Amino acid sequence: MSVSAIDTEDRGRRPDISDNEWEARVELAACYRLIHRLGMDDLIYTHISARVPGPEHHFLINPFGLLYDEVTASNLVKVDLDGKIIGDSDHGINPAGFVIHSCIHRDLPHVECVLHTHTVAGCAVSAQEDGLLPLTQTAMIFHGQVAYHEYEGPALDFDEQQRLVADLDDKLVMILRNHGLLTAGRSVPEAFIAMYYLEQACRMQVAAMAGGAAKLHMPPADVPQHTADLIKFGGAFNSSPGAREFAALVRRMDREDTSYRM
Protein backbone atom coordinates (compact mmCIF):
# COMPACT_ATOMS: atom_id res chain seq x y z
CA MET A 1 0.00 0.00 0.00
CA SER A 2 1.36 3.40 -0.89
CA VAL A 3 1.72 6.09 1.73
CA SER A 4 -0.96 8.28 0.20
CA ALA A 5 -3.36 5.34 0.01
CA ILE A 6 -3.27 5.24 3.82
CA ASP A 7 -4.51 8.81 4.05
CA THR A 8 -5.62 10.81 1.02
CA GLU A 9 -5.52 14.21 2.72
CA ASP A 10 -4.49 16.86 0.22
CA ARG A 11 -4.63 20.10 2.18
CA GLY A 12 -1.78 21.73 0.25
CA ARG A 13 -2.42 20.25 -3.17
CA ARG A 14 -2.56 22.61 -6.13
CA PRO A 15 -5.15 22.00 -8.86
CA ASP A 16 -2.45 21.29 -11.47
CA ILE A 17 -1.03 18.32 -9.55
CA SER A 18 -2.32 14.95 -10.74
CA ASP A 19 -3.35 12.15 -8.39
CA ASN A 20 -0.22 10.17 -9.25
CA GLU A 21 2.07 13.11 -8.68
CA TRP A 22 0.42 13.93 -5.36
CA GLU A 23 0.89 10.34 -4.23
CA ALA A 24 4.59 10.57 -5.15
CA ARG A 25 4.88 13.86 -3.29
CA VAL A 26 3.32 12.49 -0.09
CA GLU A 27 5.55 9.42 -0.18
CA LEU A 28 8.72 11.46 -0.75
CA ALA A 29 7.81 13.99 1.96
CA ALA A 30 7.29 11.07 4.35
CA CYS A 31 10.77 9.81 3.48
CA TYR A 32 12.31 13.19 4.29
CA ARG A 33 10.59 13.25 7.68
CA LEU A 34 11.67 9.66 8.48
CA ILE A 35 15.29 10.37 7.58
CA HIS A 36 15.14 13.36 9.96
CA ARG A 37 13.59 11.29 12.75
CA LEU A 38 16.33 8.69 12.36
CA GLY A 39 19.08 11.32 12.62
CA MET A 40 20.37 10.92 9.09
CA ASP A 41 19.86 14.49 7.83
CA ASP A 42 22.48 17.27 7.70
CA LEU A 43 20.88 20.67 8.39
CA ILE A 44 19.59 21.97 5.02
CA TYR A 45 21.99 19.81 3.01
CA THR A 46 21.85 16.39 1.32
CA HIS A 47 18.83 15.39 -0.69
CA ILE A 48 16.27 12.77 -1.67
CA SER A 49 14.63 12.76 -5.08
CA ALA A 50 11.78 10.82 -6.66
CA ARG A 51 10.69 10.51 -10.25
CA VAL A 52 7.30 12.06 -11.11
CA PRO A 53 5.03 9.48 -12.79
CA GLY A 54 4.53 10.24 -16.47
CA PRO A 55 6.49 10.68 -19.70
CA GLU A 56 7.97 14.13 -18.94
CA HIS A 57 11.12 12.94 -17.07
CA HIS A 58 10.53 15.28 -14.15
CA PHE A 59 11.62 14.59 -10.60
CA LEU A 60 10.92 16.01 -7.15
CA ILE A 61 13.58 17.25 -4.73
CA ASN A 62 13.72 19.26 -1.50
CA PRO A 63 13.47 23.06 -1.46
CA PHE A 64 16.98 24.38 -0.76
CA GLY A 65 17.05 26.12 2.61
CA LEU A 66 14.42 24.05 4.39
CA LEU A 67 15.20 21.51 7.08
CA TYR A 68 14.00 17.97 6.47
CA ASP A 69 11.28 18.34 9.09
CA GLU A 70 9.94 21.34 7.14
CA VAL A 71 9.52 19.42 3.88
CA THR A 72 5.91 18.79 2.85
CA ALA A 73 4.19 17.25 -0.14
CA SER A 74 3.28 20.67 -1.52
CA ASN A 75 6.63 22.45 -1.09
CA LEU A 76 8.73 19.81 -2.85
CA VAL A 77 10.23 21.30 -6.02
CA LYS A 78 9.58 19.70 -9.41
CA VAL A 79 12.40 20.02 -11.95
CA ASP A 80 13.24 18.69 -15.39
CA LEU A 81 16.52 17.05 -16.38
CA ASP A 82 17.97 20.44 -17.34
CA GLY A 83 17.32 21.88 -13.89
CA LYS A 84 14.35 24.03 -14.89
CA ILE A 85 11.78 24.36 -12.13
CA ILE A 86 8.35 23.20 -13.32
CA GLY A 87 5.30 24.95 -11.92
CA ASP A 88 5.11 27.45 -9.08
CA SER A 89 7.67 27.30 -6.28
CA ASP A 90 8.89 29.77 -3.68
CA HIS A 91 12.19 27.89 -3.44
CA GLY A 92 15.21 26.94 -5.48
CA ILE A 93 17.17 23.70 -5.35
CA ASN A 94 20.66 22.76 -4.18
CA PRO A 95 22.95 22.78 -7.27
CA ALA A 96 24.96 19.83 -5.96
CA GLY A 97 21.75 17.91 -5.43
CA PHE A 98 20.74 18.51 -9.03
CA VAL A 99 24.13 17.37 -10.37
CA ILE A 100 24.01 14.10 -8.43
CA HIS A 101 20.35 13.23 -8.85
CA SER A 102 19.60 14.36 -12.40
CA CYS A 103 22.15 12.09 -14.06
CA ILE A 104 20.88 9.02 -12.22
CA HIS A 105 17.27 9.76 -13.15
CA ARG A 106 18.32 10.50 -16.73
CA ASP A 107 20.59 7.52 -17.37
CA LEU A 108 19.10 4.82 -15.13
CA PRO A 109 15.38 4.73 -15.96
CA HIS A 110 14.69 1.85 -13.55
CA VAL A 111 15.58 4.13 -10.62
CA GLU A 112 12.59 5.90 -9.09
CA CYS A 113 14.24 7.35 -5.97
CA VAL A 114 17.76 8.50 -5.02
CA LEU A 115 18.79 9.14 -1.41
CA HIS A 116 22.06 10.81 -0.32
CA THR A 117 23.35 11.36 3.24
CA HIS A 118 26.34 12.83 5.10
CA THR A 119 26.05 10.92 8.37
CA VAL A 120 29.00 10.60 10.75
CA ALA A 121 29.16 6.82 10.38
CA GLY A 122 28.66 6.91 6.61
CA CYS A 123 31.36 9.53 6.12
CA ALA A 124 33.68 7.63 8.46
CA VAL A 125 33.38 4.40 6.47
CA SER A 126 33.69 6.35 3.21
CA ALA A 127 37.10 7.52 4.47
CA GLN A 128 38.32 4.02 5.35
CA GLU A 129 40.48 2.39 2.69
CA ASP A 130 38.66 -0.96 2.76
CA GLY A 131 35.19 0.56 2.70
CA LEU A 132 32.32 -1.51 4.08
CA LEU A 133 33.60 -4.68 5.74
CA PRO A 134 31.59 -7.90 6.28
CA LEU A 135 31.74 -7.54 10.06
CA THR A 136 28.04 -8.03 10.73
CA GLN A 137 25.05 -9.75 9.18
CA THR A 138 23.72 -6.27 8.33
CA ALA A 139 26.84 -5.49 6.31
CA MET A 140 26.85 -8.90 4.65
CA ILE A 141 23.48 -8.36 3.00
CA PHE A 142 25.28 -5.84 0.77
CA HIS A 143 28.16 -8.18 -0.09
CA GLY A 144 29.15 -7.68 -3.72
CA GLN A 145 26.51 -4.98 -4.16
CA VAL A 146 28.33 -1.84 -3.01
CA ALA A 147 29.59 0.61 -5.61
CA TYR A 148 32.32 3.17 -4.86
CA HIS A 149 32.84 6.61 -6.37
CA GLU A 150 36.03 8.63 -5.84
CA TYR A 151 35.71 12.08 -4.32
CA GLU A 152 36.18 14.85 -6.89
CA GLY A 153 35.26 17.84 -4.73
CA PRO A 154 31.79 19.34 -4.16
CA ALA A 155 29.40 17.89 -6.74
CA LEU A 156 29.11 20.96 -8.93
CA ASP A 157 30.92 19.73 -12.03
CA PHE A 158 28.64 18.24 -14.69
CA ASP A 159 31.62 16.30 -16.08
CA GLU A 160 31.47 14.15 -12.95
CA GLN A 161 28.02 12.85 -13.85
CA GLN A 162 29.17 10.25 -16.35
CA ARG A 163 31.66 8.81 -13.87
CA LEU A 164 29.07 8.74 -11.09
CA VAL A 165 26.56 6.84 -13.23
CA ALA A 166 29.24 4.47 -14.55
CA ASP A 167 30.39 3.66 -11.01
CA LEU A 168 26.83 3.04 -9.77
CA ASP A 169 26.00 0.89 -12.82
CA ASP A 170 23.34 -1.67 -11.83
CA LYS A 171 23.88 -1.46 -8.07
CA LEU A 172 21.51 0.10 -5.55
CA VAL A 173 24.01 1.29 -2.96
CA MET A 174 27.10 3.44 -3.31
CA ILE A 175 29.74 4.78 -0.97
CA LEU A 176 30.90 8.21 -2.09
CA ARG A 177 34.54 8.27 -0.99
CA ASN A 178 35.32 10.93 1.67
CA HIS A 179 31.77 12.21 1.24
CA GLY A 180 28.89 9.99 2.33
CA LEU A 181 26.35 7.39 1.23
CA LEU A 182 23.95 7.08 -1.68
CA THR A 183 21.17 4.61 -2.38
CA ALA A 184 18.94 4.19 -5.40
CA GLY A 185 15.67 2.33 -5.49
CA ARG A 186 12.91 1.20 -7.78
CA SER A 187 10.62 2.87 -5.25
CA VAL A 188 10.94 5.33 -2.38
CA PRO A 189 10.62 2.55 0.23
CA GLU A 190 13.37 0.52 -1.45
CA ALA A 191 15.82 3.44 -1.49
CA PHE A 192 14.89 4.23 2.11
CA ILE A 193 15.36 0.70 3.46
CA ALA A 194 18.66 0.34 1.59
CA MET A 195 19.89 3.54 3.25
CA TYR A 196 18.60 2.47 6.65
CA TYR A 197 20.53 -0.80 6.62
CA LEU A 198 23.60 0.70 4.95
CA GLU A 199 23.71 3.34 7.68
CA GLN A 200 23.24 0.68 10.36
CA ALA A 201 26.09 -1.38 8.89
CA CYS A 202 28.36 1.69 8.93
CA ARG A 203 27.47 2.50 12.54
CA MET A 204 28.19 -1.09 13.56
CA GLN A 205 31.55 -1.03 11.75
CA VAL A 206 32.63 2.23 13.36
CA ALA A 207 31.59 0.91 16.79
CA ALA A 208 33.43 -2.39 16.29
CA MET A 209 36.60 -0.64 15.14
CA ALA A 210 36.48 1.70 18.14
CA GLY A 211 37.33 -1.21 20.42
CA GLY A 212 41.01 -0.26 20.58
CA ALA A 213 43.07 -3.35 21.21
CA ALA A 214 40.15 -5.70 20.66
CA LYS A 215 40.82 -7.87 17.61
CA LEU A 216 38.05 -7.96 15.01
CA HIS A 217 36.61 -11.36 14.14
CA MET A 218 35.99 -11.80 10.42
CA PRO A 219 33.48 -14.41 9.20
CA PRO A 220 34.60 -17.42 7.13
CA ALA A 221 35.37 -16.40 3.56
CA ASP A 222 32.28 -17.96 2.02
CA VAL A 223 29.76 -16.68 4.56
CA PRO A 224 29.28 -13.07 3.31
CA GLN A 225 28.22 -14.26 -0.14
CA HIS A 226 26.10 -17.03 1.35
CA THR A 227 24.35 -14.46 3.55
CA ALA A 228 23.74 -12.12 0.62
CA ASP A 229 22.37 -15.00 -1.45
CA LEU A 230 19.95 -16.06 1.29
CA ILE A 231 18.64 -12.60 2.09
CA LYS A 232 18.64 -11.42 -1.54
CA PHE A 233 18.45 -7.76 -0.60
CA GLY A 234 16.31 -5.92 -3.14
CA GLY A 235 15.35 -9.22 -4.72
CA ALA A 236 13.00 -12.16 -4.47
CA PHE A 237 12.66 -12.21 -0.68
CA ASN A 238 10.24 -9.31 -1.00
CA SER A 239 8.47 -8.23 -4.17
CA SER A 240 8.27 -4.69 -2.78
CA PRO A 241 11.52 -4.16 -0.83
CA GLY A 242 11.11 -1.82 2.11
CA ALA A 243 7.34 -1.48 1.72
CA ARG A 244 6.38 -3.10 5.01
CA GLU A 245 9.04 -1.31 7.06
CA PHE A 246 8.30 2.04 5.42
CA ALA A 247 4.55 1.70 5.96
CA ALA A 248 5.08 0.76 9.62
CA LEU A 249 7.23 3.83 10.23
CA VAL A 250 4.71 6.04 8.44
CA ARG A 251 1.92 4.70 10.64
CA ARG A 252 3.93 5.60 13.71
CA MET A 253 4.70 9.04 12.33
CA ASP A 254 1.05 9.66 11.47
CA ARG A 255 0.09 9.05 15.10
CA GLU A 256 2.29 12.01 16.02
CA ASP A 257 2.47 14.40 13.06
CA THR A 258 0.79 14.44 9.66
CA SER A 259 2.05 17.86 8.56
CA TYR A 260 4.25 16.30 5.84
CA ARG A 261 1.03 15.52 3.93
CA MET A 262 0.20 19.21 3.47
pTM: 0.91
C-alpha closest to that of 156 among 225, 239, 100: 100
Domain boundaries, the chain: 3-261
CATH architecture of 3-261: 3-Layer(aba) Sandwich (3.40)
Residues 217/136, Cβ–Cβ less than 8 Å: no
- Compute the distance between CA of residue 117 and CA of residue 174 in angstroms, rounded to an integer: 11
pLDDT given for residue 90 in this prediction: 82
Residues 32/188, Cβ–Cβ less than 8 Å: no
Question: How many degrees, rounded to 5, is the angle at CA 47 between CA 43 and CA 53?
Answer: 145
The pLDDT tens digits of the residues spanning 111-164 come to 999 999 999 999 999 999 999 999 999 999 999 999 999 999 887 788 899 999
The pLDDT tens digits of the residues spanning 167-204 come to 999 999 999 999 999 999 999 999 999 999 999 999 99
| pLDDT exceeds 70 at position 101 | yes
